[in-house]
Amino acid sequence: MQVEQLQSPQGATIEGPLLISPKAFGDERGWFFESWNQRKFDEAVDEAVVFSQDNHSRSAQGVLRGLHYQLSPEPQAKLVRASIGEIFDVAVDIRRGSTTFGQWVGAHLSAENKQQLWVPEGFAHGFLTLSAVAEVQYKARGFWNKDCERAIRWNDATIGIAWPLDQLAGTEVNLSGKDGDAASLDQATATGDIF
């Protein structure tokens, strides 16, 4: 397993999110890899992580989910991977006082590259489906809690995420009503809805 810290487009290394590349073993019959190993993961993130639930979603091309997060008392961290298709996965630092507040990192996660993105508490998370269909699986630390759930607008100019919209082959971005009405980062900060 290879672990890599990601840099924001501004060139800053953002402490927390990690890109994890499992080692796959393959031959003419197919391939095998460990998608999860408690010991190796805990060593990679330098803490003992206990996951509460596994989630699985299926999305058509152009579906954008996010930018989601949960506040106390039930914050969530996520280990995300695409088991079918390809997504562009993003984590945005929303930790008050962080030197990288408002900056983001992103990675192409696909069934082919088998990479995973660790999104710890303190980050908003979202993804854009690039392939015709994608199935995304993620392990979550912390249970889903509607009262703690928040969202930040996916195209907030303050954050400036460079979503690879050119890879959608003319498909429009498809949002849920909740995500379409999400607050800006400035609004979330003003109301105290950040970490």
Q: Is 68 a catalytic residue?
A: yes
Backbone dihedral angles phi then psi of residue 10, each to the nearest 5 degrees = -80, -5
Residue 125 known to be catalytic: no
- Tokens 């993620």 belong to residue: 138
Q: Which residues contact 29 (CB under 8 A, 6 or more apart)?
A: none
For residue 101, count other CB atoms closer than 10 A to its CB.
Answer: 17
The label of the residue with tokens 């460990």 reads: 34
Q: Indicate which residues carry an active-site annotation.
A: 68, 138
